[in-house]
């Protein structure tokens, strides 16, 4: 049984337990009973554009990509400036499946991951930022994780939108016209932004629910066995405490200063 078959079975089971679940039916390409609308999902053709660039944080991309890849009727594209492998900030490379010029013109989803210096280099590159601005203006959903929201802000896609980012830089979003919000995932109209790194899994599930409904999203969560139980309650400044928070904040002081300069420069253009 592959992942799609598992989702079919799990989705049917979850829907069957819902208060107003539809009667089970057989899809033409599966042997498992499922609600009729699941078969309809598989016939859709949603194009998901996930931007990749040198220096991005791998988990920012991989968490949401796992969720997107399990959406029936959707095709995920890893889109880079060129076809060459893209080195992530943790030391391995990801191979783009298409280039900016080959990417769908009107995607169902545009997604941008974050990073540190790699993110700022991306923002400073007119071609790269222009691609995000172009596709974002025509996408059904515009999404990001971590400092990917800085890219969206620099591209003019978060002006007057509520958004989040990694806690270190979240308040800096205001320099790109956004309204910073201290939440793990923020949904404002068709803008869906996730906080730092691991929040990509949560953002991805939010997107699956928006695209295919909560029952289907629950099946994706079950497939991933996503039931986090970290050994420490230190994933936020409040949990980590002032000493650890100040240490991390001080480490990124130069990055934050440069971020403000870049966003202000872009806003003046």
> Which residue in the list 88, 123, 146, 217 is annotated as catalytic?
146
Cβ within 8 Å of residue 204, ≥6 positions away? 63, 64, 65, 66, 67, 68
**Alpha carbons within 13 A on the beta-carbon side of 161:** 23
Query: Which value, to the nearest 10 degrees, does the dihedral of the CA atoms of residues 137, 118, 186, 107 take?
Result: 30
The answer to whether the Cα torsion of 235, 236, 239, 243 is positive or negative is: positive
**Is 146 a catalytic site residue?**
yes
Tokens of 50: 């996930």
Q: How far is CA 167 from CA 83, 113, 149, in A?
A: 32, 15, 12
Question: Which residues are known catalytic residues?
Answer: 146
């Amino acid at each position: 049984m592959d992942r799609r078959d598992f989702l079919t079975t799990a989705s049917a089971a979850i829907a069957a337990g819902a208060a107003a679940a539809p009667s089970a039916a057989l899809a033409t390409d599966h042997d498992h009973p499922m609600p009729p609308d699941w078969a309809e999902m598989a016939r859709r053709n949603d194009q998901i554009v996930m931007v990749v660039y040198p220096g991005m944080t791998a988990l920012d991309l991989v968490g949401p990509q796992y969720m997107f890849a399990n959406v029936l009727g959707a095709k995920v594209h890893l889109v880079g400036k060129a076809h060459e492998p893209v080195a992530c900030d943790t030391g391995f490379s990801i191979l783009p499946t298409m280039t900016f010029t080959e990417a769908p013109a009107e995607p169902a989803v545009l997604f941008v991951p974050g990073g540190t210096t790699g993110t700022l280099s991306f923002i400073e590159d007119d071609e790269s930022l222009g691609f995000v601005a172009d596709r974002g203006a025509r996408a059904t959903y515009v999404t990001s994780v971590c400092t990917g929201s800085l890219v969206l802000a620099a591209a003019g896609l978060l002006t007057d939108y509520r958004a989040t980012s990694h806690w270190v830089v979240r308040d800096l979003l205001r320099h790109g016209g956004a309204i910073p919000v201290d939440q793990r995932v923020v949904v404002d109209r068709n803008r869906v932004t996730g906080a730092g790194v691991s929040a990509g899994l949560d953002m991805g599930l939010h997107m699956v629910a928006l695209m295919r409904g909560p029952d289907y999203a629950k099946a994706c969560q079950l497939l991933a066995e996503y039931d986090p139980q970290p050994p420490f309650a230190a994933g936020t400044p409040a949990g980590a405490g002032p000493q650890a928070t100040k240490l991390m904040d001080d480490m990124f002081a130069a990055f934050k200063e440069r971020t403000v300069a870049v966003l202000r420069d872009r806003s003046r253009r």
